């Protein structure tokens, strides 16, 4: 009717109760639920629930295993194309974290009636762009109506059964290598609140949409030994590193000064711009982590920050560390040596 003001379209992040991988169930809650399930795994199931790994691995033949993963979440940015690209890159990451090669993907879509279909087209185009970059087709999918939009993928890959990387093989004397800076959870919370600079928005969006393909292929190349590999996502650096140490029955020494951080994020954390998922992550791991006396809480939040498509975290024999870092850098991956693995009760000692 004449005189009525047009209804302003909602931003995607306005429709999201929490952003990206921060939407994961609490680690403790998930462990309690899964602990109550009785599942019979056949000998062909090489990787399952046991160590909270990144994907399932099932052996099909003496030289062939299939790797299966699924990942989806609500909007983490407002641009539909970029949301689709980030969600797809995040889903693909689990395949490379297992040392595998992706074959194809299926789309997972939850979409509200109130948004125009052109928004969904852009989300799917963003996902397609990352599948194209990874060199795989999208062969189908499933969609439902949902008041909160969500997007992701189920991805199938293959690997030789004797070349599977898990998150549970770390050994005392290894060094820890991380391939992306941390801080995407805090940065995207700042974006949602209108507190992030344009440069930070551009930087963090590009990082989340960057495939872990190059790093994954370097780790799987066989040029050096890799004892354990995982990707850093919703449970933060501390959460995923603790899973790695728990699976290997070892402890980690984490060098605070060597951990790469996204610029501007420490100041935002100090100002209280911290997602709820990050605070939950810290509460979950705190009993197993020793921080330097007097370490400010906002620094602890940084280490527990819920990441979306974060970097790969590798446990590599110290004698191979230089070769690994050089190979990563040659492939265009910024790699940081952030700590080491020691004998001891599973946990993390933060120093520096």
- Determine whether 21 is an active site residue: yes
**Residue with token string 């992040």:** 13
Token pair of 194 as six digits: 């209108």
334 annotated ligand binder: no
Is 146 known to sit in a ligand binding site? no
DSSP β-bridge partners for residue 65: 59, 159
222 is in an annotated binding site: no
Residues 219, 28: Cα–Cα separation, whole Å: 30
94: annotated binding-site residue? yes
Q: What is the 3-state secondary structure (H, E, C) of the chain?
A: CCCCCCCCCCCHHHHCCCCHHHHCCCHHHHHHHHHCCCCCCCCCEEECCCCCCCCEEEEEECCEEEEEEEEEECCCCCCHHHHHHHHHHHHHHHHHHCCCEEEEEEEEEEECCCCCHHHHHHHHHHHHHHHHHHCCCEEEEEEEECCCCEEEEEEEEEECHHHCCCCCCCCCCEEEEECCCECHHHHHHHHHCCCCCHHHHHHHHHHHCCCCHHHHHHHCCCCCCCCEEEECCCCHHHHHHHHHHHHHCCEEEEEHHHCCECCCHHHHHHCCCCCHHHHHHHHHHHHHEECCCCCCHHHHHHHHCCCCCCCEEEEEEHHHHHHHHHHHHHCCCCCEEEEEEECCCCEEEEEC
Question: Residue 142's CB: how many other CB atoms inside 10 A?
Answer: 10
- Whether residue 162 is annotated as binding a ligand: the answer is no
Q: Does 142 count as an annotated binding residue?
A: yes
Q: Is 53 annotated as a binding residue?
A: yes
Residue 51 marked as a ligand binder = yes
Is 79 annotated for ligand binding? no
HEC string for 117-134: HHHHHHHHHHHHHHHHHH
Query: Is 17 marked as binding a ligand?
Result: no
Catalytic option among 21, 95, 191, 242: 21
Q: How far apart are CA 171 and CA 228, in angstroms?
A: 9
The answer on whether 349 is annotated among ligand-binding residues is no
Binding positions = 24, 51-54, 71, 94, 141-143, 231
Binding positions for ATP = 24, 51-53, 71, 94, 141-143
Active-site positions read 21
Binding positions for Mg(2+) = 54, 94, 231
């Amino acid at each position: 009717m004449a005189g009525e003001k047009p209804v302003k379209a909602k931003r995607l992040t306005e429709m999201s109760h929490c952003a990206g991988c921060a939407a994961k169930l609490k680690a403790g809650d998930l462990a309690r639920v899964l602990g109550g399930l009785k599942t019979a795994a056949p000998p062909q199931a090489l990787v399952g629930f046991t160590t909270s790994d990144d994907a399932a691995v099932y052996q099909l033949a003496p030289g062939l295993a299939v790797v299966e993963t699924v990942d989806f979440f609500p909007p983490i940015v407002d641009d539909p194309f970029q949301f689709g690209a980030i969600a797809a890159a995040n889903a693909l990451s689990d395949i490379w974290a297992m040392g595998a090669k992706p074959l194809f993907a299926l789309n997972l879509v939850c979409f509200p009636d109130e948004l125009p279909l052109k928004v969904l087209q852009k989300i799917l185009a963003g996902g397609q762009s990352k599948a194209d970059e990874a060199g795989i087709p999208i062969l189908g999918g499933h969609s439902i109506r949902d008041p909160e939009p969500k997007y992701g993928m189920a991805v199938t890959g293959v690997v030789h059964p004797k070349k599977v990387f898990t998150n549970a093989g770390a050994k005392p004397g290894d060094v820890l290598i991380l391939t992306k800076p941390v801080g995407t959870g805090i940065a995207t919370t700042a974006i949602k609140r209108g507190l992030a600079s344009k440069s930070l928005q551009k930087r963090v969006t590009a990082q989340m949409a960057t495939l872990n393909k190059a790093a994954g292929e370097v780790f799987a190349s066989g040029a050096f030994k890799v004892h354990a590999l995982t990707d850093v996502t919703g449970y933060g650096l501390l959460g995923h590193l603790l899973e790695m140490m728990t699976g290997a029955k070892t402890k980690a020494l984490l060098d605070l000064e060597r951990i790469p951080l996204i610029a501007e994020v420490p100041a935002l954390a100090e100002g209280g711009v911290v997602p709820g998922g990050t605070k939950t992550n810290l509460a979950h791991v705190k009993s197993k982590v020793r921080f330097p006396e007097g370490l400010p809480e906002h620094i602890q939040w940084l280490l527990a920050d819920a990441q979306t498509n974060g970097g790969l975290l590798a446990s590599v024999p110290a004698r191979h560390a230089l070769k690994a870092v050089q190979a990563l850098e040659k492939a265009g991956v910024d790699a940081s040596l952030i700590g080491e693995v020691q004998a001891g009760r599973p946990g993390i000692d933060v120093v520096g």
